[in-house]
Amino acid sequence: MLKIISTLVFVTTLPLAGYAQDGLPIFDGHIHYSQSVWRLISPPQAIRLLQQAGIERCLVSSTPNEGSEKLYALSPERIVPFLRPYRTRKDMLSWFNDPATLEYVKKQLDVIPYQGIGEFHLNGTDANTPVMGRIFRLARDKGLALHAHTDEAGIRNILIRAPNQVVIWAHAGFDKVPIATLQELLDDNSKLYLELSFRNDILIDSELNPHWRDLFLDHPYQFILGMDTYIPARWSLLPDYTDDARYWLNMLPEKIAKLIAHGNASRLFPVQANR
Ligand SMILES: [Zn+2]
């Protein structure tokens, strides 16, 4: 009897969308394998953790870039490497103003087939320096995407200075950027993609925030999922994070859930281009 009751409970709590969320493959738009991580998690262990979490492919960046290069060497079909314009963490505060950045980026781009520049950090008018103008032109000429961790003013400046280039906005500006602002930016910029790590307003009381739902339905081709493994603990928890993402993806129409989970990133970074 007990068994029957528990089965009934399970059936009645199945998500309304009615398709299996288990195993929805993920193309993660925000993986880091930086020095603090590779000291604890070897490249083979990192690849195993990605597999366990159902992350079939991912954008990877790291400080220093050697981390991305280690993972790419091991699994080139899974790893889409992005080049960070930092030689060390110290560069994070000055790179956008330092002419040495451009020389470093140009040289490093030859090491493995990098497909983008980022995730880089800047805010507001940091995007307006002459060095950044040259970085944007280099990305345009080489067909590289940009992955920016920046505030609202920063993303607006990037979009002005790098028009018609693929720009991925890390964390979609975090919760402090209103959803209405995201809507306006997506309406005006068809090559802007929002990466969703740390947007903690997508769920409200375990339900999909209706404003986010509307945004997903309006712009289904402009979202990329991300887990952001910037510290070792987030690597260990990757399977939990991907399950959490599948939980809310399952509240969307299946076609849109698949676009956000992997379709949009796969379209931008097809496997062939990665080899
Ligand atoms: Zn990051």
Q: Inform me whether the pLDDT recorded for 127 exceeds 80.
A: yes
Cα(2) to centroid(ligand 1), Å: 47
Q: Could you give the angle at which helices 43-52 and 238-249 cross, rounded to 10 degrees?
A: 30
Cα separation, 219 vs 19, in Å, equals: 22
At position 269, the amino acid (one-letter code) is: F
**Ligand 1 center from residue 94 Cα (angstroms):** 17
pLDDT score recorded for residue 22: 64
Please indicate whether residue 4 or residue 71 has the higher confidence score (pLDDT): 71
Other CB atoms closer than 10 Å to residue 233's CB: what's the count?
A: 10
How many angstroms does the Cα of residue 203 sit away from the middle of ligand 1? 21
pLDDT tens digits, residue range 16-38?
343 445 679 999 999 999 999 99
How far apart (Å, rounded) are the C-alpha atoms in residues 152 and 135? 20
Tell me what pLDDT residue 45 has: 97
Give the integer Cα–Cα distance in Å for 44 and 24. Answer: 23
Q: Which amino acid is at 255?
A: K
- The answer, as to whether pTM is greater than 0.75, is yes
3-state helix, strand, coil in the chain (%, to 5): 50, 15, 35
What is the CB-side half-sphere exposure of residue 128 using CA atoms within 13 A?
A: 7
Q: How far is the CA of 230 from the centre of ligand 1 (A)?
A: 6
- How many whole angstroms from 8 Cα to the centroid of ligand 1? 42
HEC per residue, 64-104? CCHHHHHHHHHCCCCEEEEECCCCCHHHHHCHHHCCHHHHH
d(CA 8, CA 14): 10
CA 241/CA 260 separation, integer angstroms: 15
Question: Does position 158 have pLDDT exceeding 50, yes or no?
Answer: yes
Spacing, Cα 147 to ligand 1 middle (Å): 9
Please check whether residue 1 is in contact with residue 30, taking contact to mean a CB–CB distance below 8 angstroms: no
Q: How high does pLDDT run on average in the chain?
A: 92
For the chain, domains (ranges, CATH) are: 24-274 (3.20.20.140)
Mean pLDDT of 167-184: 97
Query: Is the pLDDT at 14 greater than 50, yes or no?
Result: no
What is the distance in A from the centroid of ligand 1 to the CA of 7? 41
What number is the average pLDDT over the span 175-202? 97
Distance 122 CA to ligand 1 centre (A): 12
151 φ/ψ sector (left φ>0, alpha ψ -120 to 50, else beta): beta
Asked whether the CA dihedral 172, 248, 274, 49 is positive or negative, the reply is positive
Residue 154: alpha-carbon gap to chain centroid = 18
The whole-number average pLDDT for the span 173-195 is 97
Residue 199 CA to ligand 1 center (angstroms) comes to 13
**Residue 269 predicted with pLDDT over 90:** yes
Q: Are 116 and 82 in contact (CB under 8 A)?
A: yes
Q: How far is the CA of 167 from the centre of ligand 1 (A)?
A: 15
